Structures are given as C-alpha cells and as structure tokens.
Amino acid sequence: MDKKHPRVIDCTIRDGGLMNKWQFDLETVRRVYRANIRAGVDIMEIGYRVSPKLFGRDDFGPWRFCAEEDILSVTGGDKPQLQLAVMADIGRCYQEDFIPKTDSVVDIYRLAFYAHQIDETIRMSAYLNGLGYKTFFNIMAVSTNPLDMVINCLKRIEEETDAVGVYLADTFGSFIPSRVSELIAFYQSHCPSKAIGFHGHNNTQMALANSLAAVEMGIEYVDASYYGMGRGAGNTPIELLLPALGGNKYDIAPIIEVIQKDFEPMSRIYKWGYHIPYAITGICNQHPKSAIELMQSEQRGCYKEFYQRTSVGV
C-alpha cells in the first residue's frame, strides 16, 4: 500500500468528544496536537463548531464550540505545524459563528449534514470558502437515503461548490470491504473533481479493513482516532492505520505514548470499542443509537433481549 498515500485526519478530539461531552483536559488536547505533529499526521480535527446560543458551555467542554482562543491555547501563538480542521454541524451553527481565515488558525471546515439539508450546506460551504477556508461535505446516514437523493447531493456538490472533497461515512458500522469499494467508486463517478474521503466505524471490527479497501480505491483522505476513540464502537484506530498505510511517512511512537497516558485510562471510563450491543446494531444495519442507550442503562449486559429486539425484521 506504499504508493497510494491518502492524507490522514485525526478526529480524536472531535469524534471522541461524543463520549465525554468534549470535556478533555487541555493538557490531553495539547499532547494529541504535539504527538500528531511528531507522528507526521496530516490534519487534526480539533472539535465541532456549534453555536453557543444553542448549546450551553456549562454542559459541554470547549471542543464542542472550538472558539479561536481555545484552539490557540493548544497551538500556542505560532502557525500550527499541521493543518487544523473543525467539523461544523449544519443546523447547529450560523454564519456569524465564523471569522475570516486571515484571523484564524483553522484551515478546513468539514460540514456534517443529512441529505435533506443539502441547500443549507451548499450555502454554508460557499460562505466559508468566501471567508478563505477549505470545505468538505460529510453526508451522514447515507445508507438510509433513497439512491436518487444521494446522487442529487453528489451532483450538486460536484457542480455547485468549490469544496475540496466529499466524505463517505459508515454511519451504522455495517459495511464490508467489497461494499466500501463499490460506494467509493460510486462517489468518484458522481464527484470526479472532488477528493473522496472515508470515515469507518468499528462495530464489527471492520473499520481498518474498510479503510484500507477505500485507500486501495484511491481515496485522498481517511479518518482515524487515538485508540479508536469515538462514539459507540469507535473509529479506525490511528495506531493501526498509520503502519498499515506502509512506507516511512509516519511514526506511531508519539501516539503510543499518548494512548498510554490518556486514552487507555479514558477507555476504561467511557467504554468505546468492541462491545456486543454495538456489534448487534452493526450486524443488523441499524443506527448505533439504541446500542449506546443500552450501554448507558442498567440493562447494558442484556445482550440476548437486545438482539431479539434489534434483529426483528432483519
């Protein structure tokens, strides 16, 4: 896999924040930032941009909002030594929440949206491009949409936007490599001028294998996180992805060190990773929401009943 090197986006703080309400210690975020630089990671996604008018700062940590001064407290005053991305949740932020690129250390906004929000997302992308940022379109829950709705989205992104790329996400963690290859080819055919990215989920332990299948298809961006931290079963573990990409571009030693100090201890509290309820929703091609609710309830060990409920009609 040495020749086709996609750029790796570390989304630990953004996606992992779904498990701890973005309440990471500042020192943890700094350690991830510095380790990414030393490891050779291409891009770090440091959090979400949602409007503080819609969500309380008392309920959530700073990486749900990504105020410029919070980002600067991580990067210091200097120009960041890797590209910084922030995910903007369409419908949960306004144009007033963004400052011009010349005043910001952020390079990329990734726009997370459902297919029915395509108009609003195209407008936001144009606005952010006008401010000087690169943008990506991250369509969520794509497998629940009718095919013509997805095609319409992809065509409009191709024809009406200056976005850098479009992401395929395995929202339910139900893909296998052959399906990923088909879907990447589908995205490539409808968005020939855009870079394609892939975000895997690990419900059935296929996030890495699916990511490598997408890389074989020639995608240009791929997501991963420290120790796989992310909602539910989590994401592609970056410590496995970087060596699997081959070559000498990356060094996982700094990442291993931060996993030891921060993420392995956190995993014992927040319990992302392989658990039977997440596997069940993946096997049954359903949103992991019900599994996450189960894991947070006193019925977390009742796998049998959960499987019976979830597999009805599958």
Q: How far apart are CA 68 and CA 296, in angstroms?
A: 33
Can you tell me which of 87, 128, 207, 266 binds a second copy, judged by CB under 8 A? 207
Q: Which of 115, 206, 219, 222 binds a second copy (CB under 8 A)?
A: 206
Which residue, 26 or 244, has its beta carbon nearer to a second copy? 244
Nearer to a second copy, 95 or 308 (CB): 308
Both tokens of residue 181? Answer: 């290859």
Position 127 contacts a second copy (CB under 8 A):
no
- Contact region with a second copy (CB under 8 A), list: 16-24, 120-128, 145-153, 259-267: 259-267
- C-alpha neighbours within 13 Å on the C-beta side of residue 198: 35
Does residue 150 bind a second copy (CB under 8 A)?
Answer: no
Binders of a second copy among residues 23 to 82 (CB under 8 A) are: none
Cβ at position 20, least distance to a second copy in Å: 20
245 binds a second copy (CB under 8 A): no
| Least CB distance to a second copy at residue 12 (A) | 15
- Residue in this structure with the two tokens 């029915």, named with its chain if needed: 116
Give the one residue of 81, 95, 189, 311 binding a second copy; rule: CB under 8 A: 311
Residues 6 or more apart whose Cβ sits within 8 Å of residue 82:
36, 37, 41, 42, 43, 44
Q: Measure Cα distances from 17 to 29, 90, 230 in Å.
A: 11, 18, 7
Report how far residue 219's alpha carbon sits from residue 64's, in angstroms, rounded to the nearest whole number: 28
DSSP code at position 80: P
Backbone angles phi, psi at 85, to 5 degrees: -120, 155
Per the CB < 8 A criterion, the answer to whether 8 and 43 are in contact is: yes
Interacting residues with a second copy (CB under 8 A): 176-177, 202, 204-209, 212, 227, 237, 239-240, 243-244, 252-253, 256-257, 259-260, 264, 273-274, 276, 279-280, 283, 301-304, 307-308, 311
